[in-house]
Amino acid sequence: MSIKQRFEQEPIYLMDGSAFVYRGFYANQSMQRSDGFPTSALFIVARILMRILREEQPKHFAFVLDGHGPNFRHELFPLYKAQRSATPEDLIKQIDPIHRLIKALGLHLEVSDSCEADDCLASLAKRYREERPVILVATDKDLKQCLHDNVMMWDPASRDEKIVTLKSFEEETGLKPTQWPDVQAIIGDSSDNIPGVRGVGPKTAEIAFREGYDAVLAALGYRLRVTEASLRRVTGGTVLTLTFTNDGTAPFYWDWPVNVYVEEADGTTVEAQPLALSLPDLLPGGCQTVKTKLAGVPGRWWEEQDRRITLGIVDPMTGRDAVRFAMQTAQEDGRTVLFAGE
């Protein structure tokens, strides 16, 4: 069945040409004419285009290729794709014939400057999705962030003709397309030389955005405890000193905001100014001591009576506390101390 039959309106077909050019080239690098001219990329691209023209008969179509030289990502991150070798000469030889092929077929060719082909696809998909359906003829996982009720991805070169819709994406991942860029940022992309968060792979990243960071802690083998805590009055507030210990199997390295709650005698809770604790690597079995000033909690509060203090490590996805540590203040030898619990 033609892909366009899924829609009532005539769709726009946007093809990530660069992806299919490279894919075709590396699929069979030995393919060549009798005179030795390489043809692998040209052959695959031609076969895909002929299929689209025959089965889809598109009225709106664009074949988009990456431009030459660095793009805006190299300005943001100079090491972007730095590990990649130069484009093979046999592939370069096929680019001009591919240009001529597309024009001969009466299709629109777009060569992007200062950006990549998938950037153009993403921009055009967002621009036209409210007007008509958009079919991204592409395989790049980054383009999943473009999925929409009116935007789908189609890989006509795959053996199973892979189709990804908004519904299938959400059923498979439990995520929204708007979350996908952050998931990919956490994972990183070795093919583009983009580092991710150490120790976090696709499954853990998806858990983080689907279930919250408390699930990530468990998945990564964390078991954090506050093993020591103390308070010291200073001008304008109170200094809180905390020692975190990791009894789990994974190092603790993320920076998290920490909420502080002070429980009054009548049971009401006073929320102090949130902390911004930055913990260096906390290896399994290791501990790390941090100090921070509680500007919103006067020191005399601790001296008037014993109070209960709760630390809540905030889940940035929900804004709620993912992990809580409860402690109790007490007076000992004329100074306020904290008894730290689990």
89-103 burial: b if 16+ Cβ within 10 Å, else e: ebbeebbebbeebbe
CA dist., res. 224 & res. 248, Å (int): 7
At 1-24, the pLDDT tens digits run: 688 888 889 999 999 999 999 999
Q: What is the pLDDT of residue 252?
A: 63
Taking alpha carbons only, the member of 183, 121, 131, 182 closest to residue 153 is 121
- Phi, psi dihedral angles at 104 (to 5 degrees): -65, -30
CA dist., res. 314 & res. 259, Å (int): 7
- Contact at 8 Å (CB) between 292 and 231? no
- pTM beyond cutoff 0.85: no
- Contact at 8 Å (CB) between 139 and 14? no
CA dist., res. 59 & res. 74, Å (int): 35
249-276 average pLDDT score: 66
217-244 average pLDDT score: 73
Residue % of the chain over a pLDDT of 70: 77
* pLDDT over 70 (residue 243): yes
270-295 average pLDDT score: 71
Per-residue confidence band for 342, with pLDDT thresholds at 50, 70 and 90? very low
N- to C-terminal Cα separation, the chain:
60
**Cβ neighbours for 63, distance < 8 A, ≥ 6 positions apart:** 15, 17, 49, 102, 107, 108, 109, 110
Three-state secondary structure call for residue 85: coil
CA dist., res. 248 & res. 34, Å (int): 63
* pLDDT over 50 (residue 274): yes
Chain mean pLDDT for the chain: 82
Taking alpha carbons only, the member of 114, 123, 116 closest to residue 17 is 116
Q: What would you report as the CA-atom Rg of the chain, rounded to the nearest whole angstrom?
A: 28
* pLDDT over 90 (residue 40): yes
* pLDDT over 80 (residue 78): no
Choice between 301 and 224, residue whose per-residue pLDDT is larger: 224
Ranking 112-116, 233-237, 241-245 by mean pLDDT, the lowest is 233-237
Taking alpha carbons only, the member of 235, 182, 214, 201 closest to residue 322 is 214
93-106 average pLDDT score: 96
At 172-204, the pLDDT tens digits run: 998 899 889 888 888 888 888 888 777 778 887
Q: Are strands 308-314 and 321-332 parallel, antiparallel or unpaired?
A: antiparallel
Q: What is the pLDDT of residue 242?
A: 79
Q: What is the pLDDT of residue 334?
A: 61
Mean pLDDT comparison of 41-45, 116-120, 203-207, 276-280, highest-scoring range: 41-45
62-91 average pLDDT score: 82
Any idea what DSSP says for residue 184?
A: H
User: What percent of the chain is helix, strand and coil (3-state, nearest 5)?
Assistant: 35, 30, 35
Q: What is the pLDDT of residue 39?
A: 97
